[in-house]
């Protein structure tokens, strides 16, 4: 008797298809990681050669504009690119698709040429989540070591002042780095004040024969500067002046020069230092203005009241409208009002003739040849010094052909063998003991 069993549908074929699909995802991911390594190499070279310095603040700002990256992601790409320039093992692992960009990004926060070999082993053995946890633990050890070093330096601070056998006072000490920097700056300022005083004394009168004309050595100048600091502090304290005047920059510029940089006339700072007419135009764009009339002999015959170029009400509306620097790819939330047609050329101080620019790009427009004008539809148009337009958002490059095939063909030509297991970590599912891992890996934890 023949017994027949019904056919049972198998699920092997769909499972095999899904396995194949998963392998394709893993292999393509390895190709993308390898391409990312090449991209980071290009970013590092582009940054080192200053290719972004066409009106942009940094390579990250250029990337955000040109490629459409988030500013934070762009800064991170540049950071990782530079870090990999000193970490060849991690760079090679990324170029071979063995480590993901996420792992490399985390490892470059703590890796040094001395520790990258052991951190590379961490990247190969664990998942991206494991790597992040190891890096956080690693940084905690670094911070503790840094805190111990800071506390040690603070405890070792000292200043010894005593009188030597010949009556001279000897000063010897150790200061914290920030305190030392403050002292150095103060001594430099005091030395400069003494230098200017000596210069004025020499030009005012003939020095006495009893006074040595020898220029003091640096050590002698430092001693004199310290004496000046002590005298000033005991006499009246070091008064930097009222906050409103402390940071004020005064520029004297003739009206014809302000309207035409080629016109004859002065454009100088308060101390007589010459600045370009373009610089004066930039400073006059959004600053207090005092008009003085001079007689033929140079004497001031009339002084007008100080006025603001841009009234507060218009300034508030300008900031509300522009929401930051309008230069393509910038967007800094603070800036200066720029007259598109300068008021010295008859341009009105109206909202339609104003644009908000950060300090860097205000300088670019006035002194580096960049141009800006407002179109009939109200939009701003920026141009490079050579006249080429600088669009707010650059058009994307057209990719001709299948990008996956192009990527694989490029890696095949380079002899790079990638498969579905290339980026798979060696983790077998065991629980990660971060404390033990840090004790084993970190050189300062042992």
Q: Same structural domain for residues 102 and 34? A: yes
Q: Is residue 400 part of a domain?
A: no
Q: Is residue 113 part of a domain?
A: yes
Q: Same structural domain for residues 144 and 165? A: no
Please check whether residue 355 is in contact with residue 338, taking contact to mean a CB–CB distance below 8 angstroms.
yes
DSSP 332: -
Q: Is residue 137 part of a domain?
A: yes
Nearest Cα neighbor of 393 from 329, 298, 306, 301 is: 329
* Global pTM value: 0.64
Q: Same structural domain for residues 107 and 187? A: no
Q: Same structural domain for residues 192 and 279? A: no
The pLDDT of residue 426: 82
- The tally of domains found in the chain comes to 3
The pLDDT of residue 202: 63
Q: Same structural domain for residues 98 and 169? A: no
Please check whether residue 183 is in contact with residue 229, taking contact to mean a CB–CB distance below 8 angstroms.
no
Question: Last residue of a domain, which of 176, 194, 227?
Answer: 227
Q: Same structural domain for residues 292 and 376? A: yes
Question: Which residues span the domain enclosing 54?
Answer: 20-152+427-441
Q: Same structural domain for residues 382 and 306? A: yes
Distances (CA, A) of 293 to 301, 333, 370: 6, 38, 33
Q: Is residue 36 part of a domain?
A: yes
Q: Same structural domain for residues 49 and 96? A: yes
Q: Same structural domain for residues 260 and 386? A: yes
The pLDDT of residue 105: 94
Q: Same structural domain for residues 165 and 255? A: no
Per-residue pLDDT of the chain (446 residues; tens, 9 = 90+): 455 555 555 555 778 888 888 888 888 898 999 999 999 999 999 999 999 988 888 899 999 999 888 888 999 999 999 999 999 999 999 999 999 999 999 999 999 999 999 999 999 998 999 999 999 998 888 878 777 777 787 788 899 998 888 878 899 998 877 778 788 888 888 888 888 877 776 666 555 444 445 678 888 888 998 888 888 877 765 554 444 444 466 777 777 777 777 777 777 776 667 777 777 777 777 777 776 766 666 666 566 656 667 888 888 888 889 888 999 988 888 888 899 988 888 888 888 899 999 888 988 898 888 999 999 888 999 999 989 998 888 887 776 777 778 888 888 888 888 888 888 888 877 888 888 888 888 887 76
Q: Is residue 191 part of a domain?
A: yes
One DSSP character per residue, 263-324 reads SSS-EEETTS-B--HHHHHHHHHTSEE--EEE-TTS-EEEEPPPEESS-HHHHHHHHHHH-S
Q: Same structural domain for residues 371 and 257? A: yes
Please check whether residue 355 is in contact with residue 372, taking contact to mean a CB–CB distance below 8 angstroms.
yes
Q: Same structural domain for residues 124 and 172? A: no
One DSSP character per residue, 89-104 reads HHHHHHHTTSS-HHHH
């Amino acid at each position: 008797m023949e017994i027949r069993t019904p056919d049972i549908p198998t699920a092997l074929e769909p499972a095999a298809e899904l396995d194949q699909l998963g392998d394709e995802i893993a292999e393509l991911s390895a190709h993308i990681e390898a391409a990312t390594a090449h991209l980071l190499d290009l970013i590092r070279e582009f940054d080192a050669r200053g290719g972004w310095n066409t009106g942009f603040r940094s390579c990250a700002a250029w990337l955000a504009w040109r490629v459409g990256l988030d500013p934070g992601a762009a800064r991170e790409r540049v950071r990782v690119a530079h870090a990999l320039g000193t970490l060849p093992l991690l760079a090679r692992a990324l170029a071979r698709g063995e480590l993901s960009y996420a792992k490399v990004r985390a490892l470059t926060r703590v890796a040094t040429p001395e520790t990258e070999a052991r951190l590379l082993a961490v990247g190969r053995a664990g998942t991206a989540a494991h790597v992040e946890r190891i890096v956080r633990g690693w940084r905690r050890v670094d911070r503790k070591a840094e805190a111990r070093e800071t506390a040690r330096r603070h405890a070792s601070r000292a200043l010894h002042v005593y009188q030597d056998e010949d009556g001279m006072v000897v000063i010897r000490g150790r200061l914290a780095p920030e305190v030392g920097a403050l002292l150095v700056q103060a001594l430099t300022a005091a030395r400069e004040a003494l230098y200017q005083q000596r210069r004025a004394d020499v030009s005012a009168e003939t020095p006495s024969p009893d006074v040595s004309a020898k220029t003091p050595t640096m050590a002698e100048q430092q001693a004199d500067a310290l004496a000046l600091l002590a005298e000033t502090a005991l006499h009246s304290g070091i008064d930097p002046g009222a906050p409103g005047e402390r940071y004020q920059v005064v520029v004297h510029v003739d009206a014809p020069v302000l309207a035409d940089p080629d016109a004859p006339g002065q454009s100088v700072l308060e101390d007589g230092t010459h600045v370009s007419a373009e610089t004066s135009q930039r400073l006059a764009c959004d600053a207090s203005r005092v008009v003085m009339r001079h007689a033929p002999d140079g004497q001031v015959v009339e002084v007008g009241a100080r006025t603001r170029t841009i009234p507060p009400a218009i300034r508030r509306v300008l900031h509300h409208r522009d929401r930051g620097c309008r230069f393509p790819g910038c967007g800094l939330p603070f800036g200066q009002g720029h007259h598109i047609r300068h008021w010295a050329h008859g341009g009105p101080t109206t909202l339609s003739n104003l644009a908000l620019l950060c300090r860097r790009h205000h300088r670019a427009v006035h002194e580096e040849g960049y141009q800006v004008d407002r179109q009939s539809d109200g939009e701003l148009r920026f141009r490079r010094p050579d006249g080429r337009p600088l669009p707010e958002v650059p058009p994307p490059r057209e990719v001709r052909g299948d990008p996956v095939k192009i990527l694989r063909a490029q890696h095949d030509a380079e002899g790079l063998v990638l498969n579905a297991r290339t980026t798979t970590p060696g983790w077998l599912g065991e629980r990660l003991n971060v404390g033990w891992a840090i004790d084993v890996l970190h050189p300062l934890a042992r």
